[in-house]
Amino acid sequence: MSTIHLPLLVEAEQLEPLLNQPGLLVVDLCNIDTYAEGHIPGAVNLGYANIIRVAPPAMGLLPDEVRLSAVISGLGLTPETHVVAYDDEGGGRASRFLWTLDALGHAHFSLLNGGLQAWIAGGHTLSQQAEQPIARPYPAHLGDRVVANKAYILSRLGQPDLVLLDTRTPGEYQGLDVRAARGGHIPGAVNMNWILAMDQTRQLRFKSEDQLRSLLENLGVTPDKEIIVYCQTHHRSAHTYLVLKVLGYPKVRGYPGAWSEWGNDGSLPVER
């Protein structure tokens, strides 16, 4: 059982007093140059490429368990570790990492609201000291509770208790901005550009709960349904996954193949 107790969405003011506590690991998903310039004290850097698998044309797949075991073990995690992740680009990379931990059944994690920008804006301390974590064995076992693949989506298309939530831009959704062999979206999907969940005036923190619920429910994205989120590579949609989890939606999955897989597979149906 973790000795750290933090909410799924954590503010800098909640995190700072706990930085030296055993059982806490802060993971920085910024690029390495940004990390070197200044990061949250004690944070370890994790390159985004380590948590995705590329099999062109699909660009954002889950790595296999052997690869994930090596990456997670190298960070020094144990099953009891409470992970706080952040980045400097609105939370997409950090959310993708936390979704991966969720897929592995890791129970204790949080997203830093507003990421590095919010930390800096709040006047919190930065460090330039690169952290070298002590590796610990962490066997990775992927479950399918929070993961959707194309076969699963095909089996669920058209079901009244399912909502496909496309988090790309309206142009991508409508097939005007084509980033695969075909443009458009998965049949029946509704569109919410991921940036609509961010407060542009507060370092890209999440908008208020009321604002987010209104935005989602107006699209028919309600907690009684199963929600499958996707974008181009499950980077943007991982952020939306965390938004839904923070709001308490009980049945949410991410589709890592996303449009880079679906839009390039001529056997799959497309809507424009």
DSSP assignment of 30-67 equals S-HHHHHH-B-TTPEE--GGGG-EEETTEEEEPPPHHH
The encoded tokens of residue 173 equal: 């959704």
In a domain, 200, yes or no: yes
List the Cα angle 23/29/30 in 5-degree steps. 135
The structure tokens listed for 125 are 């301390």
| Same-domain check for residues 82 and 167 | no
Residue at 34 is within a domain: yes
Same domain, 160 and 250: yes
**Are 211 and 111 in the same domain?**
no
174 and 100 both lie in a single domain: no
2 pLDDT exceeds 80? no
Please provide residue 37's backbone torsions phi and psi, each rounded to the nearest 5 degrees.
-70, -30
Domain-ending residue, one of 121, 137, 163 = 121
Residues 106 and 194 in one domain: no
Judged by DSSP in three states, 155 sits in helix
CA distances from residue 170 to 69, 129, 180, 192, 264 in whole angstroms, order as listed = 37, 42, 15, 8, 19
Which among 85, 48, 53 is positioned nearest to 67, based on CA atoms?
Answer: 53
Instruction: Please confirm, yes or no, whether 30 is among the known catalytic residues.
Output: no
CA 270 to chain centre: 25
User: Is residue 224 assigned to a domain?
Assistant: yes
| Chosen domain end from 101, 121, 141 | 121
Structure tokens at 78: 């144990």
Statement to judge: residues 113 and 183 lie in one domain:
no
Active-site residue (options: 231, 238, 246, 258): 231
**Helix H or strand E encompassing 82:** strand 82-86
Counted domains in the chain: 2
CA distance 40 to 242: 21
Q: What is the pLDDT of residues 3-61, one digit of tens each?
A: 899 999 999 999 999 998 999 999 999 999 999 999 999 999 999 999 999 999 999 99
Which residues partner with 271 through β-bridges? 185
Q: Is the predicted pLDDT of residue 261 greater than 70, yes or no?
A: yes
Mean pLDDT of the chain: 97
Give the mean model confidence (pLDDT) for residues 113-133: 97
Q: What average pLDDT score do residues 116-124 get?
A: 98
106 domain residue, yes or no: yes
**Is position 101 within any domain?**
yes
Does one domain contain both 173 and 255? yes
Between residues 1 and 255, the one the model is more confident about? 255
* Cβ-based burial of 158 (10 A; exposed 0-12, middle 13-18, buried ≥19): exposed
The H or E element spanning position 162 is strand 162-166
* Confidence category of residue 1, pLDDT binned at 50, 70, 90: low
Output the pLDDT for position 221: 98
pLDDT reading at 182 higher than 70: yes
Let me know if residue 137 belongs to a domain: no
CATH assignment at residue 253: 3.40.250.10
Answer whether residue 245 is part of any domain.
yes
Tens digits of residue pLDDT in 65-119: 999 999 999 999 999 999 999 999 999 999 999 999 999 999 999 999 999 999 9
> Which residue, of 103, 121, 139, is where some domain finishes?
121
Same domain, 159 and 100: no
**Residue 160 within any structural domain of the chain:** yes
112: containing domain: 9-121
C-alpha 102/C-alpha 99 separation (Å) is 5
Query: Does one domain contain both 172 and 88?
Result: no
| Residues 108 and 155 both lie in one domain | no
State whether 158 and 252 are in the same domain.
yes
Q: What is the pLDDT of residues 209-255, one digit of tens each?
A: 999 999 999 999 999 999 999 999 999 999 999 999 999 999 999 99
Clarify whether residues 199 and 102 are in a common domain: no
pTM, 2 dp: 0.98
